[in-house]
């Protein structure tokens, strides 16, 4: 299987970048995108050239760090599927694929296909946590919740923080990510004591690093965790609640 790659090469954030064309003649339909880049780097190293910098870890669709843009679509052509689960069987022999990093002002390029996603970490630092007393674990039945409520919380907790929603959004908004955090914690009892503080912290971080949400909906089409558009509504809901409850439950 012959695949031609147009890969974005950029030495560092301040350097000018450009697409460089490579050809791989021995690709197989079973290869994932990271495996295809591994094969490309084997060729480059054998030729004495510098390999392409890209990120990957679990390669099981869990960590999210492998995310790149394939043919102008974050992660690739298969909807709601991470980069590491995009396989060449979804392409044809002789195809030309354009690979570039996630494009967003909030994600500066580190090198080649690697971007700095620290802005997402700052959203988590703003409120994506719970403060608990350490020590003996509480009894399992000390916080009784319904099955439906638990499943809802876990559905929103499934976000892997890949940043594809930001790259897909015309405004570079991260409201799907922030809303998933807020909905998860506001659904389960462990997150309720700091709910107002969390709402203000997460929204402050979103406004600092990301653009405003205009509910275009492109984010849900690329989200590997299938986070629904309803998560975006949680951002305004939680910040309005926090303003009304200011000083009452912080």
Among 87, 111, 135, which residue terminates a domain?
111
Give the residue among 109, 227, 115, 100 at the shortest CA–CA distance from 175. Answer: 227
Boundary of a domain, candidates 111, 136, 165: 111
Which of 151, 215, 157 is closest to 182 using CA atoms? 157
Final residue in a domain of this structure, among 86, 111, 136: 111
Whether residues 191 and 90 fall in one domain: no
- For residue 239, the domain's CATH number is 1.10.1060.10
Assess if residue 250 is contained within a domain. Answer: no
pLDDT in tens, 188-241: 888 888 899 999 999 999 999 999 999 899 999 999 999 999 999 999 998 888
Residue 248 scores a pLDDT above 80? no
70-92 pLDDT, tens digit each: 999 999 999 999 999 999 999 99
For residue 171, is it within any domain?
Answer: yes
Q: Tell me the C-alpha distance between 250 and 239, whole Å.
A: 13
pLDDT averaged over every residue in the chain = 93
Residue 20's SS3 state is strand
And the tokens for 27? 């690709």
* Domain of 192, in residue numbers: 117-244
142 inside domain:
yes
Residue 247, pLDDT > 60, answer: no
Least confident of 3-12, 58-67, 85-94, 141-150: 141-150
Q: Which residue has the higher pLDDT, 32 or 242?
A: 32
Same domain, 13 and 78: yes
């Amino acid at each position: 299987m012959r695949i031609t790659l147009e890969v974005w090469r950029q030495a560092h954030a301040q350097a000018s970048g450009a697409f460089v064309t490579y050809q791989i003649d021995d690709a197989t339909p079973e290869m994932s995108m990271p495996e295809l880049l591994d094969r490309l780097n084997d060729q480059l190293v054998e030729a004495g050239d510098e390999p392409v910098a890209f990120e990957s870890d679990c390669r099981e669709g869990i960590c999210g760090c492998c995310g790149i843009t394939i043919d102008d679509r974050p992660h690739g052509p298969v909807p709601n599927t991470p980069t590491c689960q995009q396989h060449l069987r979804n392409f044809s022999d002789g195809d030309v694929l354009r690979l570039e990093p996630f494009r967003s002002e909030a994600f500066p390029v580190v090198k080649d296909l690697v971007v700095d996603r620290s802005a997402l970490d700052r959203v988590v630092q703003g409120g994506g946590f719970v403060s608990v007393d350490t020590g003996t674990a509480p009894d399992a039945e000390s916080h009784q919740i319904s099955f439906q409520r638990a499943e809802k919380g876990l559905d929103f907790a499934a976000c892997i923080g890949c940043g594809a929603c930001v790259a897909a959004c015309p405004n570079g908004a991260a409201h799907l990510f922030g809303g998933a955090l807020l909905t998860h914690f506001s659904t389960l009892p462990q997150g309720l004591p700091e709910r107002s503080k969390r709402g203000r912290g997460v929204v402050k971080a979103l406004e600092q690093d990301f653009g405003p949400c205009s509910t275009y909906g492109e984010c849900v089409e690329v989200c590997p965790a299938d986070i629904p558009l309803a998560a975006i509504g949680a951002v305004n809901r939680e910040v309005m609640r926090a303003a009304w409850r200011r000083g009452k439950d912080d």
